[in-house]
């Protein structure tokens, strides 16, 4: 029974990572490649961040590259921590005065990231492959 429970959990973590990772990438891609970086940098400045260009690029790259890393399960806990921080800003600073429906997506990604910070990537991931390789030596 524990074997099946673990297998289902690993499949569930794979599913969560792929959906969350690819989903968050769709938010980073247009910022970097869709001509939205200038507006995003301005928004970051309006939120009161020092060095708004740096933090805007950090957030956009976290969404794009972090999303890809999350999807394949590479550096999952660190990437999830960066995404967690980015989504705290999105949900509770950028959308602070907005209705829940405007915060909902950021809160969902915050929840996905928090879950993966706590659980790790699961068996079907680059992290697990690297750990297996390192432990076999």
Q: If you ran DSSP here, which 8-state letter would residue 1 be given?
A: -
pLDDT (tens digit per residue) in 1-41:
687 888 899 999 999 999 999 999 999 999 999 999 999 99
Query: Rounded CA gap, 56 and 60, in Å?
Result: 6
Unique residue bearing structure tokens 């432990």: 135
User: Both tokens of residue 16?
Assistant: 């969560």
Unique residue bearing structure tokens 């999303």: 67
pLDDT (tens digit per residue) in 73-111:
999 999 999 999 999 999 999 999 999 999 999 999 999
Q: If you ran DSSP here, which 8-state letter would residue 123 be given?
A: S
Query: Rounded CA gap, 121 and 116, in Å?
Result: 6
Unique residue bearing structure tokens 């390789």: 133
For residue 137, what pLDDT band results from cuts at 50, 70 and 90? low
DSSP 6-58: HHHHHHHHHHHHHHHHHHHHHHHHHHHHSS-HHHHHHHHHHTT-SSHHHHHHH
Burial of 59 (0-12, 13-18, 19+ CB in 10 A): buried
Question: Which pLDDT value is given to residue 91?
Answer: 97
Query: Rounded CA gap, 115 and 87, in Å?
Result: 13
């Amino acid at each position: 029974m524990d074997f099946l429970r673990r297998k289902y959990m690993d499949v569930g973590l794979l599913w969560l990572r792929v959906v969350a990772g690819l989903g968050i990438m769709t938010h980073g891609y247009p910022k970097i490649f869709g001509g939205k970086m200038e507006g995003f940098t301005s928004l970051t400045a309006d939120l009161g961040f020092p060095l708004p260009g740096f933090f805007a690029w950090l957030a956009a790259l976290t969404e794009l590259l972090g999303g890809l890393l999350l999807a394949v399960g590479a550096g999952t806990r660190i990437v999830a921590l960066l995404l967690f921080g980015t989504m705290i800003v999105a949900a509770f600073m950028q959308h602070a005065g907005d209705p829940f429906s405007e915060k909902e997506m950021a809160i969902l990604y915050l929840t996905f990231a928090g879950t993966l910070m706590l659980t790790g990537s699961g068996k079907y991931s680059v992290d697990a492959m690297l750990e297996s390789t390192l432990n076999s030596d």
